[in-house]
Amino acid sequence: MIYTINNKCSINDTINKMKENDTLILDPGIYREKVIIKASNIEIKGKDKENTIIINSDYYLKTMPDHAECNTFRTATFQVLGSNVKLSNFTIVNGAVPSKKYAQAVALYAAGTNFICDNMIIKSEQDTLFTGPLPDDLKERYVDFLDEDVRNSPKTKQKYINCTIEGDIDFIFGGAKALFKDCVIVCLNKRGYIAAPSHSKDDEFGYLFLKCNIIGNKEVDNNYYLARPWREYGKVAFINCNYDIYINDELFSKWNDTNRHEKCKFLIYDENYSGNLANFAKKLTKKEADVYVFDFLKDFGV
């Protein structure tokens, strides 16, 4: 069944009626709602990417109805827990910006496997996009805080195609095997980190940024990094991307006062890069990059 609604209707109420293989179409407008999807095998798409906007403004230190702090993992404007969910052609915003004032403010929390995000805009500053699952230590820490279906989401496979993702600090983070292909990655402000992966030891792959356009401030006092390891086995590869931003010459950063970088797997393939690459990262040859992409994409159908 196909449902079509406007911004005078509740997205959540409509989702609760949907069954497998149903589609929800959103008319242009601003939807001020915190959306949670627990259903599987559904699709939600907008009629106008720039003018179909779902927005909420929860942030880390906000006091919630249970009188506890919101915490990063309850801030999301849009949360997907079901599997085989596809989002396309609309915008998701967490309006709790700037990050200097509000800190963590997730726009999209994706923790369902076989998740597809196509031609979307995802906007916040710090922690814009979380790609579940949670790291194991946080599953333990939040045992009496987060709902069990949130805390114990399985390993996930996620695909982001032709999306625009904006942020500043660790604004793409988590433990999914996630492909970012032909995306525009917008680095806001003058300092930050694009990716903060948290994969487990037994994950062969993590994040792949493939043929993405990475844009932002081009002033030389910019201090942006492509990634830093949120957990010690974080994995990320940037391959055949275009950089229209001033990136720190080392490209990748350690995580504060930790040794997580010693076990992470950070890769880059860029024919034009000749800088002082961080000593825990690796610059791939063209052959190595081609093999890596081929192996990564085997089960993605791209």
**In this predicted model, what pLDDT tens digit does every residue of 139-159 receive, in sequence order?**
999 998 998 888 888 899 999
State the CB neighbour count (10 A cutoff) for residue 276.
9
CATH superfamily of 2-297: Single-stranded right-handed beta-helix, Pectin lyase-like (2.160.20.10)
Percent of the chain past pLDDT 70, that is, above it, reads 99
pLDDT at 44: 98
Contact 235, 207 (CB under 8 A): yes
State the CB neighbour count (10 A cutoff) for residue 281.
20
pLDDT at 302: 66
Mean pLDDT for 79-102 is 97
Mean pLDDT for 151-178 is 96
Query: Domain locations in the chain?
Result: 2-297
* Residue 183: C-alpha distances to residues 120, 168, 212, 242 (Å): 9, 16, 5, 10
d(CA 253, CA 230): 11
Mean pLDDT for 254-258 is 91
Percent of the chain past pLDDT 90, that is, above it, reads 88
List pLDDT tens digits, range 58-73.
999 998 888 888 999 9
pLDDT at 223: 87
Mean pLDDT for 219-239 is 92
Amino acid at 23: T
pLDDT at 67: 80
pLDDT at 300: 76
